[in-house]
Amino acid sequence: MTDTTSNQMWGGRFAAGPDAIMEAINASIGFDKRLAAQDIAGSRAHAAMLAATGIISDRDAEAMREGLLTVLSEIEEGRFTFSPALEDIHMNVEARLKDLVGEAAGRLHTARSRNDQVATDFRLWVRDQLDAVEAGLETLVRACLVQAEAGADWVMPGFTHLQVAQPVTWGHHMMAYVEMFGRDLGRVRDARVRMNECPLGAAALAGTSFPIDREMTARELGFDRPCANSLDAVSDRDFALEFLGLASICAMHLSRLAEELVIWSSAQFRFVALSDRFSTGSSIMPQKRNPDAAELIRAKIGRIFGANVALMTVMKGLPLAYSKDMQEDKEQVFDAADNLLLALAAMEGMVRDMEANREALAAAAGHGFSTATDLADWLVRALDMPFREAHHVTGSLVALAERKGCDLPDLTLAEMQAVHADIRADVFDVLGVENSVASRRSYGGTAPDQVRSQIARWKEKLS
């Protein structure tokens, strides 16, 4: 392809080419070449519209459109030489198109600017990432549903402050993440609807005097409509910020689950075993099985949060319309998207492969006085005791069990009656963890029938 020593796009306004330092700080081709497919799609749609409105000839438009497909093939096959002297993906593509089709290529930029061109390319790219994130989230949710269904009635301890709180089921715990990732899905879908407007035709900032058909280019590129204000169209990066925002929330959810997998797979917990595919060994300690994939997912959130803050900082002080600062909008988004998609894939693999240890879960569920709340509730129901008094009596029984080195169900009836004389033998019916979880039948509760109901609801939503 043609290479140049001076940047010819500036035309007669500048007598000399850019200094090497200026070229280095100004060029974006090192990263915006990732927009090649979107840039070529936008240019092909623009060429078709220019011909349909009579602005250029059908012959020139067809030459451009075919030439652009050739450029795309060269890029995809690794045969394209990118030139930093041409600054960005737009000028690199246009220069190569001129090599292929001659002077007709110079008509392609009629009625558009790099400002609306890059805004369109970037929207198309972010839209593709939203679609990929949606698919990744759906796959992860399905993996969580499989785990939840398998253990809908497996008891385990529920925690607050990482202290044993009340018994729950494995299925209920996994369904909590289904709800989290389900909200992420909702944000992805909402963002896609909101961002699906086409900037192409806004030109530099004020629109164009050519009789273009913006509805046509919007349709060709799969947008719902053109952007309604040309100033906003070229200066808006809300779609990228919204992507980074939802990516940050999703990464935070992934990090929370990753943290639990790190804890659960430890020798102290033994709640789950991660597969060899998502674990590593130690270079010195042969017994080690490290949850490195979970730890790396947990760390990814720093990069994604950082990208969000970086782009917010770039955009916060910019007057309308376009400023060169906005060249710094892409690298953060590229990195965040790459890492979010990788984290989603790794988490789906871990969840799909992991094996929950039902015996260890059940054993842990019975420790730590996890049925103390069930005892207090029984005192309220059976003895008509005010809850605050029931809380006090239960606390006294817990203290007695701690002194004896046993759990609540191990106390004798006589020992319980020494604390409160009205306690009856049927109190033991509520002290088992199985009875505890079965009793939590309120909507959204941990009772196995409620868990299975929520699993069915989500299967229907996904279908």
Q: Angle 430-435-156 (CA atoms, 0-180°, nearest 5)?
A: 115
Contact 5, 17 (CB under 8 A): yes
Q: What is the DSSP letter of 290?
A: B
- Give me the sign of the Cα torsion angle 255, 257, 263, 265: negative
Token readout for 31 is 């990263």
Contact 130, 191 (CB under 8 A): yes
When computed from its CA atoms, the radius of gyration of the chain, rounded to whole angstroms, is 31
**Among 363, 296, 301, which Cα is nearest to 336's?**
301
- Partner residues linked to 163 by β-bridges: 160
Which residue of the set 6, 57, 282, 323 is catalytic?
Answer: 282
Q: Does residue 90 have an active-site annotation?
A: no
| H/E segment holding residue 289 | none
Token readout for 389 is 């008094």
- Residue whose pair of structure tokens reads 């993906």 in the numeric block: 89
Token readout for 124 is 């198309």
Q: Does residue 161 have an active-site annotation?
A: yes
Distances (CA, A) of 44 to 63, 78, 327: 10, 21, 23
Please tell me the total number of residues recorded for the chain in this structure. 463
Token readout for 351 is 């969840």
- Strand pairing of 155-160 and 163-169? antiparallel
State the catalytic residues: 161, 282
